[in-house]
A and B are shown apart, each in its own frame.
Chain A
């Protein structure tokens, strides 16, 4: 028996189920006696609820339960990962279009839908804010009740928080810089659009509750539910089948507390499967406006960066303030910047609550700062690649003074991308090239436990609380166990997504799982290896210190024995198993601006060649090169899939995606007809994904997280290429044909 080594690309674990239709996502699971729930909303963003008449709805055959805020335990529970500001259901007031005012459950989907249409809500529309300018106006209505933020000087404004990071002295540098470039950039609201809409189920479970959710963070959800329901953690079982795509939109609790309360009240299971339109109203990326002042010296070195980033978040905080803080924090990029000032604000509005989304606030600031660097280079008459290379931090350099030093040979990545795009070679007429660099701080804290069980026949069960939402964690964790314990990959089972079975994992986010859970699994395997070493010492009467167990083999001083040949006699007549326990912690650092330094940096360089049809403003991405520093690719095929997926997602917000709001604060392009994401017809003519491996990451075998890198700087690279092709700098996304065409009409004739 031999294991599948880390570094191979076996078929995805769980792939068979996914190509045969056997994979069960939340919406595919039915519980005996379940009721079907629907939500009821009002057609505007901000309203006072005057009355709710449910009599007609109650009369619908099959309706079993209708709840409003008044029907739920008082005081109504509020929750949220940063602020406990989101009520289980709207209480007195609706703060964004799509916030549920009532919820009902019926025997059938048809009855639930009919009844939902019959709930009569009388409401008074209230003044609302949907834009940064509107929210920051001194006369703006307050989105959040100030009493939720006692003793906060900002509580009387729509600024939820302001984050300041900096070093050196920007004002002094500004005096001596040879060139200062100031511009303002905007980034639109976009949404995750996982093909699986969010789905939730809850069922009374003895003296507790069982909740199924498309959630990325089952343990976090368990904590929220325990608090809301007043139950010990042990009585809240969260089942989280592999999500059908997450991208950050499924990190945090949404309607699970509501569905749980409904199930307890009905005494029956309740299921709520959101429509795609409702999912658009449940999660989005923060829009942003970023003003950047970049100072450079004549020799092409950066003198300072002065960044003010306003993130337009929604009506409830969710994790959006953390997104603003963490997304803007590496805003100066991977460069030597002597002086920096970064001010980020999260600003509430009467819109869909924004949350984590692949890149976690970094794509917004990257769009601005990298674009401005290109402007600075061109103004200096310097090649934008050359300017970047001149300032790029070398490995080990503390480019953010109080954080993890540069943890890769980043120049290698940048040069690889430049080579692959043919940087410096002649560009055909009508075309242009652009290059940009993305960097993101990995997880700042972490806690993952894993248990690994080596069964009597040498097969392996791994228990890991990571969610496999497509990134392939199940496969990579199985590969680690297979490599270490020598079981063939199809003899390894990875159990995930059930808090009653699987030990605690903090979360599946920030491209952490290969590094943090991977290390936990690795250390559980090492625990087993050390037990095997003790067994072998006993069986063969040798000193344990002379035994090495690795890659499925027990190495005695004079011969190697496959693990099962030690395991079987070692376990003896009763059989049994060896249980290994692994733990990976990254402690918080209370004095750090983010509460912890980066476990690693995701580093990506994207180089783009475009052709612009000036008649209609249409951009064709001729070649899209993405190169990421991954440390070590534990599964090179999956690395490529994640890298390309991130790149294509980046093309979405760069070229086509954005929410369109009307005057009443309603999203006008809800759903798949009017909100377009990249299809197979929107791809670059050539997409090249490559990676750099120097084994210098903190994860197993030198790996780093890499699932977000390629989304970070797509917009900056594409816009730079458009600028190269047309001479026009566009500072608002997305780069739709209309926007490009208009910009070309305004181009000064020389």
Chain B
């Protein structure tokens, strides 16, 4: 067996110390070591966006980030979006606009959309479609996801 490396990573505000295999990814750490299964596994090549999380202020495909690279990082996952069990404006908008069908891509969509709104508070439809182009939805909720991002952008601050 391969030797492990020690990392410290802050996930959703909680500091975690872990011994990880050098070839394990941030996705492996989140799902297998921390049981944060909201972040989804699909393509493992950075194309589908299902594993999108926020790391050090920008979004990443967690399947493409080695666990060692996350040492010292601040990571936010979908589980960290709702504060005190209250849905964020974006999460609520996803439900109200019908952006959720099977739901498997939704954690990644939410993380990407949250990031987009951080960069562009009042995005155009083209901004949203481009900003979420890396997040596949086979249910085809793209129109509703766009509507939800617009709605979250227009609503009052939480």
Name A's B-contacting residues (CB within 8 A): 9, 11-12, 14-25, 27-28, 30, 61, 109-110, 192-197, 242-247, 273, 275-276, 469-472, 637-638, 640-642, 644-649, 671-673, 677-681, 683, 687
Contact B104–A11 (Cβ < 8 Å): no
Contact A471–B101 (Cβ < 8 Å): yes
Closest Cβ–Cβ distance, residue A725 to chain B (whole Å): 24
Considering only residues 68-113 of chain B, those with a C-beta below 8 Å from chain A are: 77-79, 81-82, 87, 91, 94-96, 98, 100-107, 110
Q: What residues of chain A lie closer than 8 Å to B145, measured between beta carbons?
A: 680
Q: What residues of chain A lie closer than 8 Å to B130, measured between beta carbons?
A: 680-681
Q: Tell yes or no: B139 within 8 A of A by CB.
A: yes
Q: What residues of chain B lie closer than 8 Å to A687, measured between beta carbons?
A: 143
Q: Which range holds the interface residue count of chain B?
A: 35 or more
Given A19-B87, A19-B110, A672-B48, A679 and B136 touching (CB < 8 A)?
yes
Given A645-B141, A683-B143, A25 and B100 touching (CB < 8 A)?
no
Contact A21–B139 (Cβ < 8 Å): no
| Count of CB-CB pairs between chains A and B under 8 Å | 171
**6 A-B residue pairs with CB within 8 Å:** A18-B100, A19-B81, A20-B91, A245-B104, A645-B139, A680-B132
Q: What residues of chain A lie closer than 8 Å to B32, measured between beta carbons?
A: 109
Contact A276–B103 (Cβ < 8 Å): no
Contact A641–B42 (Cβ < 8 Å): no
Contact A195–B102 (Cβ < 8 Å): yes
Q: What residues of chain B lie closer than 8 Å to A673, measured between beta carbons?
A: 43, 45, 47
One of A15, A195, A641, A679 near B133 (C-beta < 8 A):
A679
Closest Cβ–Cβ distance, residue B117 to chain A (whole Å): 15
Q: Tell yes or no: B115 within 8 A of A by CB.
A: no
Contact B95–A12 (Cβ < 8 Å): yes
Given contacts A14-B103, A242-B102, A276-B44, 18 further A-B contacts (CB under 8 A): A15-B94, A17-B103, A19-B100, A19-B103, A20-B87, A194-B104, A195-B48, A195-B102, A196-B40, A275-B44, A470-B102, A471-B101, A645-B141, A673-B45, A680-B128, A680-B132, A680-B145, A681-B130
Name B's A-contacting residues (CB within 8 A): 1-2, 21, 23, 28, 31-32, 35-45, 47-48, 50, 77-79, 81-82, 87, 91, 94-96, 98, 100-107, 110, 128-130, 132-146
Q: What residues of chain A lie closer than 8 Å to B94, measured between beta carbons?
A: 15, 19
Judged by DSSP, the binding face of A is: loop
One of B98, B104, B132, B146 near A196 (C-beta < 8 A):
B104
Contact A470–B139 (Cβ < 8 Å): yes
Residue of B whose beta carbon sits closest to that of A638 = B98
Closest Cβ–Cβ distance, residue A192 to chain B (whole Å): 8
Given A20-B91, A21-B78, A672 and B42 touching (CB < 8 A)?
yes
Q: What residues of chain A lie closer than 8 Å to B42, measured between beta carbons?
A: 195-197, 276, 672
Contact B138–A649 (Cβ < 8 Å): yes
Contact B79–A21 (Cβ < 8 Å): yes
CA distance A197 to B138 in the complex (A): 12
Contact B105–A195 (Cβ < 8 Å): yes
Closest Cβ–Cβ distance, residue B126 to chain A (whole Å): 10
Q: What residues of chain A lie closer than 8 Å to B141, measured between beta carbons?
A: 641, 644-645
Contact B43–A276 (Cβ < 8 Å): yes
Q: Which of A28, A195, A645 has the most CB of B within 10 A?
A: A195
One of B21, B104, B132, B146 near A244 (C-beta < 8 A):
B104
Closest Cβ–Cβ distance, residue B40 to chain A (whole Å): 7
Contact B98–A21 (Cβ < 8 Å): no
Contact A245–B139 (Cβ < 8 Å): yes
Given A19-B106, A244-B103, A469-B102, A195 and B95 touching (CB < 8 A)?
no
Q: What residues of chain A lie closer than 8 Å to B137, measured between beta carbons?
A: 195
CA distance A687 to B141 in the complex (A): 12
CA distance A404 to B113 in the complex (A): 47
Contact A672–B91 (Cβ < 8 Å): no
Closest Cβ–Cβ distance, residue A315 to chain B (whole Å): 25
Closest Cβ–Cβ distance, residue A704 to chain B (whole Å): 19
CA distance A197 to B135 in the complex (A): 16
Given A12-B98, A645-B139, A677-B138, A20 and B43 touching (CB < 8 A)?
no
